[in-house]
Structure 1
Amino acid sequence: MKRHEFLRELHKVSANRNYLEIGVNDGRSLTLSRVPSIAIDPAFKVVTEIRCDVHLAKATSDDFFARQNPLGHLKGGRHPLRNLARNRSPFGHWQRTTLDLSFIDGMHLFEYTLRDFINVEKHSDWASVIVFDDMLPRNVDEAARDRHTGAWTGDVYKMVEVLNRFRPDLVTVLVDTQPTGQLVVFGADPGNTVLSDKYDEILAEYVVPDPQKVPETILERTSAVKPETLVEAGFWAPLVRARNRGTKRSRGWEPLRRSVEQLSVSR
């Protein structure tokens, strides 16, 4: 299954009520959305018909998320709360919009992708679905930080190890889509600051000169599931019901975690 086919299926099974995309390019992935959407790219060149209510933000993702109420276009984005003294949360002077489905396909360098995840997670929760593109380079050349190939993933594949190492509270699923794989993340926690707190430490360890030392498990896709296996899994309907009912993390997350983790066991 190709990446856009897989993304189309995710829109269906997640029954997402909104959508955020980082990295628009010509609009081929954005055209799959039918819900209120935000699409971010400093140099998009959309040539595909868009069929959703969309805010096209011509900006870097860093600049976009630095705005006040960046998700104001989506249902739930509102004016600042009046009583700021009572609101101590880091997100907190705005009534919060939660992202249902996010697709991160921006700059193909690890540090940018890490920042994109940190920013997206602040606006997500345990029932959100976050997807990374280009997680399975087919060779070391494709994974280079300094692009010298046609197809190029850069070193964003490092997100797999970093999330598993620093955020074991999340569940990550590598997906064997064509051509360069994807990573789906469940269990986002907007209050978790581990990645931002350790950002400089992580970059010092993981941003290294070419050639990159891509793990064999990435190149050979040994831990990736078939896309059909993920989209046909039985947990989607319960996830959607729990999300739409506003089920708290304490009640909804552990059953979902067990169901998603079972995918890897049954590969």
Structure 2
Amino acid sequence: MKRHEFLRELHKVSANRNYLEIGVNDGRSLKLSRVPSIAVDPAFKVVTEIRCDVHLVKATSDDFFARDNPLAHLRGGRHPLRNLRRGRAPFGYWRRTTLDLSFIDGMHLFEYALRDFMNVEKHADWSSVIVFDDMLPRSVDEAARDRHTTAWTGDVYKVTEILGRYRPDLVTVLVDTQPTGQLVVFGADPRNRVLHDKYDEIIAEYEVPDPQKVPEAVLERVRAVKPEALLEADFWRPLVRARNRGLRRSRGWEPLRSALARLAVSR
């Protein structure tokens, strides 16, 4: 399955109510959205029809997230709480907008992709779905930090190891899509500060000159699941139901984690 086919189906099974895309290019992935969307790219050149309510942002993702209320386009960025546990919400009381589906396909260097994740997570929740593109390079040349090939993933594949090492609370699923694979992340926690606190340490260790030493497991896609297996998994309906009901992490996360663990065992 090609990456855009997988992303199209992911929109369906996740029943996302909003969408954020980092790295627009010509709009081939953005055109899949049918919900209120924000698309960020400092040099987009959209040449295809877009069929959603979209805010196109011509800026770097770092600059975008530095704005006040960057998600303002998604229902104004906030919406009033109709009821609180102890009576009705007071006038002017607001709840933040949570991103349902995010697609990170910006600069192909791991430190940029990692920062994108850190920024997206601030606006996410345990039920959010976050997707990285170009996570399974097919050769060392394709994974170079300095681009010298037509097809180029850069070294964003390192994000998988970094999240596994520093954020074991997350569940990450490598997906064997063509041509260069994707990583789907579940269990975001906007309160977690580990990546922020360890960012300089991570950069110092993982930023190394070319040629990159790409693990054989990455090149051979040892841990990657078939996209159909993830899309057909039985946790999507409970996830959507829990998200739409606003269930807390304490009530919804563990069943999802268990279902994802079963998927990992079956691959």
TM-score, normalisation: structure 2:
0.94
The range that moved more, 257-266 or 54-63, is 257-266
d(CA) in 2 for partners of 1:94 and 1:199?
31
- Please give the alpha-carbon distance, in whole angstroms, between the structure 2 residues aligned to 1:115 and 1:63: 12
C-alpha deviation, 1:264, in angstroms: 1.2
Whether 1:62 aligns to 2:71 is no
1:205 corresponding residue in structure 2: 205
Asked if the contact 1:36/1:52 (under 8 Å) is kept, the reply is yes
Structure 2: gaps spanning 5 or more residues: 80-92
Separation in 2 of the partners of 1:134 and 1:94?
Answer: 37
Tell me, yes or no, if the aligned pair for 1:77 and 1:95 is still in contact at 8 Å.
Answer: no
SS in 1 for 2:114: helix
Measured in 1, the distance between the counterparts of 2:125 and 2:75 equals 16
Residue identity in the other structure for 1:18: N
Equivalent-residue separation in structure 1 for 2:212 and 2:175 (angstroms): 21
Letter in 1 for 2:170: L
Whole-Å Cα distance in 2 between the matches of residues 55 and 76 of structure 1?
Answer: 12
Q: Distance in 1 between matches of 2:262 and 2:75?
A: 34
Instruction: Give distance in 2, aligned partners of 1:78 and 1:150.
Output: 42
1:230 maps to 230
- Residues of 2 paired with 1:57 and 1:166: CA distance? 31
Q: Which SS does the other structure have where 2:75 is aligned?
A: coil
- What secondary structure, in the 3-state scheme, does the structure 2 residue paired with 1:111 have? helix
Percent identical pairs in the alignment equals 84
1:36 paired to 2:36: yes
Pairwise CA distance, 1:75: 1.8
| 1:255 aligned residue | 255
What is the rounded CA distance, in whole Å, between the counterparts of 2:76 and 2:239 in structure 1? 20
1:171 aligned partner: 171
1:143 aligned partner: 143
Note the 1:1-267 alignment, pairs <5 A: 1-75=1-75, 77-78=77-78, 95-267=95-267
Show the counterpart of 1:83: none
Cα distance between partner residues in 1 of 2:78 and 2:26: 30
Q: Give how far 1:261 is off.
A: 1.5
Mark the runs of 5 or more structure 1 residues left unpaired by the alignment. 80-92
Q: Which amino acid aligns with 1:221?
A: R
State the AA in 1 paired with 2:234.
Answer: G
* Aligned partner of residue 96 in structure 2, secondary structure: coil
CA separation in 1, counterparts of 2:262 and 2:20? 28
Counterpart contact for 1:76–1:95, Cα < 8 Å: no
Q: Which amino acid aligns with 2:133?
A: D
- How many residues of Structure 1 are paired with residues of Structure 2 in the alignment? 255
Q: Which runs of 4+ in 1 moved over 6 A?
A: none
Report the secondary structure of 1:198's partner residue.
helix
SS of 2:155 mapped into structure 1: coil
Specify the SS of the correspondent of 1:185. strand
Q: Distance in 1 between matches of 2:180 and 2:132?
A: 11
